[in-house]
Amino acid sequence: MMEAHVDETYAEGSISGGVNQLGVDHYNRLINELIRNGIEPFVTIYHFDLPQVLQEKYGGLMHQMFLGIGSPSMSQMLLHNMATSLGLPHQEGARFHKDIVHWDLHLDVWCPSVPVTLVVEQNGEIGIVLATKYFKPYSKSQEDRAAAKRLFMGPLVFGKYPQSMRELVKERLPTFSAEEKSLVKGNLGFAGINYYTSSSYRESELFLPTIHGPKKKSGNHWPEGLQKLMKYKKGRYGNRRNDRLPLDGQLKDPDRISYIARHLYLLNKAMKNGANVKGYFCWALFDDFEWDNYKRYPKQSAKWFRDFNDNNYCSAAPTLELNIHRADFPVDFFIGVGTSAAQTEGAVEEEGRSPSEDIQLVKELGVNSYRFSISWSRILPSIEPFVTIYHFDLPQVLQEKYGGLMNHMKDFSDYAELCFKLFGDRVRHWFTINEPNVLAQYGYEIGIAPPGRCSLPQGRCGLGSPPRCMVPVGPCNFGGNSSTEPYIAAHHIILAHATAVKLYKERYQVEQNGEIGIVLATKYFKPYSNSQEDQAAAKRLFMGPLVFGKYPQSMKELVKERLPTFSAEEKSLVKGNLGFVGLNYYESVHAKYRPPPPAENLSYSFDSWAEEKDMKDVPGVSENHWPQGLQKLMNYVKNEYRSPQIYISENGYGNPRNDRLPLDEQAKDPNRISYIARHLYWLNKAMKNGANVKGYFCWALFDDFEWGIGLSQQVGLYYVDFDDNYKRYPKQSAKWFRDFNHNSAAISRST
């Protein structure tokens, strides 16, 4: 259910965006439960889960801002949050548990950034995790011996890259400044070694080790390589998943038992020979990419590992390697299991996901430690906010004070600037006004939306064309002129948008590193025929003035003196101040030439000399839903309006609401899934053809109040039970959309 909310959390992936308290609470509960069960937490700060927003913002690892160089809002502050704020019980309920003393990082450049005072105050330790093998020289030649010397640790021990590396990579290898050398040298901390296999190397080639006898390798698994590496390791046997096996067959894993036991045996030998190894973590606690409430079943290896930690395991195995016990290791040696957030957490209970039965599973294994990672995006969320400043909610007092949109609204620019000041440090994407063409038509031509002004005869079709008239006009009880006021309102909206864009660009854009644009409601208008008149009738989009600084010539010829004009100053203000454009697209229609009859009242809609016709003749089109129309619309905008940056700001499917259906039936919405998937497919094709599209927003998150049609239509990915405290329930489309965003759902190829 989508009931979780984020009070003061803003999606930037960095400290300036705020800390998600629900995420902090989740990890606090996890850590507290571990400690209550006598299990030592080992925490990875960054485990392959860079927030996408930071990748898009400055290139992620490719930019020095990731390190916090010259930027107090990046990793220096991140680490201060994820190793200071998360480590110190500074404020009640707002910090991570004080007893975390083992922190590891998956990126070496972060280690030097950790304040020394924290290590002292918290009595902890910090290090880095390196993926490695034991590289066995293929021969005794000098070249093969040099080829086998490959480990990532050098800079953090010696403060410089190896000489051999500098000679080979040359100018492609970055250099450390004198200050950076001093920062890096000696700041390795401890080293976590992820060890699975060994390989043989000779100059320019990779070979598998040639090993014979009782210790022969299998699939590069050579336990003696761990002893040779002389560092601690964590291991697992990576067999392939086969879901066709019955459950009892899935639980039989003697190879994994052999793998772990043999590696522990030779690790113990390395320690007896002086290797400074302090712990061993078996990867992984359970099969990875476990989402939601999937059941866990102990394999034979889990039972063996439990017996090993209880010192109960007595092997009758034919090799000495398999006869290894917990008592063979020091009392203060850490034996544990590990997982990472990105591979195992899922989204149960959203940001505040509760510790599951997994801690009980850890306890049952008899281990004294558990390695897990904190999800960067759970603590510093990376859901990017796109904010609409004005979405059909003009204050009534301004309507009464000066007629609202019928006057040039200085108040809008004041309101927009207040938003930039209050939220612009966290919001980087602004929509000024939602659907100005709808505001003008619905509010000032057909009178079905506030302020309800119109002058058309009552009963005439307002939306659609007979016989499919969706909404009749009016009633026009509040005055108005349907032939002039829509143009005046639209004119003032254009000026209001351009003024806000100019203000943002001049005062805020550079400092806040954001962008600004407008949202237009549109359809793809497919010419009804190849006639010149029908071709002209299909060219109907609200974008022209904001790109070219003037109304289209055809519009000036049709509307004549009823069309407002821009002064020279206004032309300069408007031209080029489109910003990006958000397009709300739901359907396509035929556009057919039709001049108004001589006796017809003049109006905004009829001035285009076009009528909309259903696309019944187009194969595969239902209810005017033609996904290919989205591709054609993108191509049209690209070619006609200088290829602006586009967001599909709304796209979705509505179906009649039927509260008599049971809940499980309410959740079934295959048509919505098909609609979204097909539109995404054609949008992707448009992008491959050069359309400058930067984002897609599915409308809507949950069933809502759809203006003139009220609650009669369901448009959401989540069903809302209006009779039971507005509870939200995920529909099938919500689950499909989640899988799509996790790359596990395919887009339909149907047209």
Q: Which residues are marked as active site?
A: 435, 650
Q: How far is CA 588 from CA 23, 56, 525, in A?
A: 43, 32, 6
Question: d(Cα 432, Cα 390) in Å, to the nearest integer?
Answer: 6
Burial status of residue 173 (CB atoms within 10 A of its CB: 0-12, 13-18, 19 or more): exposed
Burial status of residue 9 (CB atoms within 10 A of its CB: 0-12, 13-18, 19 or more): buried
List of long-range contacts for 144-151, beta carbons under 8 Å, 24+ apart: 144/201, 144/202, 144/203, 146/203, 147/201, 147/202, 147/203, 147/204, 148/201, 150/201
Written as six digits, the tokens of 747 are 């887009």
Question: d(Cα 351, Cα 381) in Å, to the nearest integer?
Answer: 9
Question: d(Cα 457, Cα 462) in Å, to the nearest integer?
Answer: 10
Q: How far is CA 260 from CA 224, 256, 386, in A?
A: 12, 6, 49
Q: From 359, 362, 255, 366, select the one nearest 300 (Cα to Cα).
A: 255
Positions of E strands within 212-255: none
Question: d(Cα 193, Cα 270) in Å, to the nearest integer?
Answer: 14
For Cα atoms 312, 315, 320, give the angle at the middle one, nearest 5 degrees.
Answer: 125
- DSSP H/E element including 532: helix 532-537
Query: Which residue's structure tokens are 């304040």?
Result: 115
* Tally of CA atoms within 13 A in the half-sphere of 493 that contains its CB: 31
SS3 string, 554-602, reads HHHHHHHHHCCCCCHHHHHHHCCCCCEEEEEEEEEEEEEECCCCCCCCC
Question: d(Cα 79, Cα 557) in Å, to the nearest integer?
Answer: 63
For Cα atoms 398, 403, 407, give the angle at the middle one, nearest 5 degrees.
Answer: 100
How far is C-alpha 133 from the geometric centre of its chain's CA atoms? 33
How far is C-alpha 378 from the geometric centre of its chain's CA atoms? 11
Question: d(Cα 189, Cα 181) in Å, to the nearest integer?
Answer: 16
State the amino acid at position 725 in one-letter form: N
Name beta bridge partners: 467: none
Written as six digits, the tokens of 193 are 């070694």
| Cα-only R_g, the chain | 32
State the amino acid at position 145 in one-letter form: R
DSSP string, 159-186: SS--HHHHHHHGGGS----HHHHHHHTT
